[in-house]
Amino acid sequence: MNYIIILVLGCHMVDIQESRIQSAIDFVNSNQQNVWESNQTIVWYLSGSTKYGNSGELPEAYQMENQLRESWNDNWIIEIEDKATNTAENFAYFKKYSQNNKIDEIYITTSKFHQERANKILSGIIPEINFNWILSNKTCLSCYYDEKIHSKNIHNDIIKSLDIFNFEMH
């Protein structure tokens, strides 16, 4: 069986997160009809906790799952990762998952404004994987500015997330 992974990165901004998951749904539906074979299984790896550890809030991964279930297809499987609180952690937990599962193709879903930073982080955490992007167009007034600020922390975010990965592996 062929396994295609759609890794969707959560976002604490609901409208941006909803746009990401909808972009991925649209992409998958388009390709299941035209490109992929009917025996290919789509594994939705939904990654995201809550921003700032807000325990009263539903983790981003579960919010995305709720939206995904509205478009359900029988060839889909959902994997929930609800511990990651930032992009580096998203990829660290996915690294662990990818080492324990058969994967044929990987698509990473995020926003266009976030792609450059996400790609740098991914290269520092899982440089050995081949992947494609699914990008949402949704943005916000401060998104590009915020990315510049967060980009200053890429190296430290990678180091911290690899510590999480190494701890989780033992």
Tens digits of residue pLDDT in 108-157: 999 999 999 999 999 999 999 999 999 999 999 999 999 999 999 999 99
Domain coordinates in residue numbering, the chain? 2-169
CA–CA dist 169, 159 (Å, integer): 15
**pLDDT score recorded for residue 153:** 96
Q: What is the residue type of 84?
A: A
Report the predicted TM-score, pTM, of the whole model to 2 decimal places: 0.92
CA–CA dist 72, 27 (Å, integer): 14
Q: What is the DSSP string of 88-143?
A: HHHHHHHHHHHHTS--SEEEEEEEHHHHHHHHHHHHHH-TT---EEEEE----TTH
CATH-assigned architecture of domain 2-169: 3-Layer(aba) Sandwich (3.40)
pLDDT tens figures, 101-114: 888 899 999 999 99
